[in-house]
Structure 1
Amino acid sequence: MLVRDRLDVLFEDEEFADLYPADGRPGFSPGQLALVSVLQFAEDLSDRAAAQAVRTRIDWKYALGLELEDTGFDYSLLCDFRARLVEGNAADRMLRVMLTRLAEAGLLKSGRAAAYRRDVCAGRGATSQPAGAGRGEPARRSGGTGRDRAGVAAAAGRT
């Protein structure tokens, strides 16, 4: 995957250290769980399907920097991780880190990253058009989900 080739690691564990108790270590890398969450979103997978992809798909193992024999994790960790993101108000931070690193690596144009940030911060979700497009008309959304999965997949190097 292009992200792994250009950046090696998209999310560092230290960026999510404040979400975990200081006296314990998370069972699975928080940085890897963040990337799994992005891949899960890009492919519109359930938690179970995403955890299965970590166990069985070579492209996901490569993106996550896992050995082929790695057994992955229980799907419930994804729900726990998302809860920690919400409780720690870290979801926006995760998005900012991802967009900044992808733009710095030349994988996402800076204007597109800014449009995603504006839309997400305004609570509209990532749309296929920049904020304010169509003047008075609602922005079109792909797949009826309110998420621009093609844009996320392209940024993740999955096209």
Structure 2
Amino acid sequence: MLVPNQDTDVPELTAEVARAAFPKGNALLRLRDELGLVYEDEQFALLYPGLGQHAFSPAQLAMVTVLQFMEDLTDRDAADAVRGRIDWKYH
């Protein structure tokens, strides 16, 4: 079951830490700043049944796939990036 994520803004503290870590910016920060959200959960709504457990945000999962491709990462390296990189959390 898909419950669309309504809170799509970058948390203020995350943005502050990301800008401190990358004072000159980087490609991932610019991507979000210039394009905003690339995907929204509503775009994937028809792919999910009406009943069952709540799904992970398909928009976030799609964005992880894009970032993984951009950086040519393995699945394991992408999972590590999701957990530990502030520029990935910025999305």
TM bin, normalised by shorter chain, reads 0.5 to 0.7
Instruction: Map residues 66-105 of structure 1 onto 2, 5 A cutoff.
Output: none
| 1:9 counterpart = 2:37 | yes
Q: Specify the structure having the higher radius of gyration (Cα).
A: 1
4+ residue runs of structure 1 moved beyond 4 angstroms? none
Structure 2 unaligned spans of 5+ = 1-28
Q: Distance in 2 between matches of 1:51 and 1:45?
A: 9
Instruction: Map residues 1-159 of structure 1 onto 2, 5 A cutoff.
Output: 1-24=29-52, 25-26=54-55, 28-62=56-90, 64=91
Which deviations, in whole Å up to 9, do the C-alpha atoms of 1:69-109 show, x marking residues without a partner?
Answer: xxxxxxxxxxxxxxxxxxxxxxxxxxxxxxxxxxxxxxxxx
Which deviations, in whole Å up to 9, do the C-alpha atoms of 1:46-90 show, x marking residues without a partner?
Answer: 11111110000010001x2xxxxxxxxxxxxxxxxxxxxxxxxxx
C-alpha displacement at 1:6, in angstroms?
2.2
Q: Distance in 2 between matches of 1:14 and 1:51?
A: 24
Q: What is the aligned-residue RMSD (CA, Å)? A: 1.3
Name the SS for the 1:38 alignment partner.
Answer: helix
Report sequence identity in percent.
Answer: 63
C-alpha displacement at 1:18, in angstroms?
1.7
Q: Distance in 1 between matches of 2:46 and 2:77?
A: 28
Q: Distance in 2 between matches of 1:49 and 1:21?
A: 31
C-alpha displacement at 1:3, in angstroms?
2.1
TM-score normalised by structure 1 residue count: 0.37
Matching residue of 1:129: none
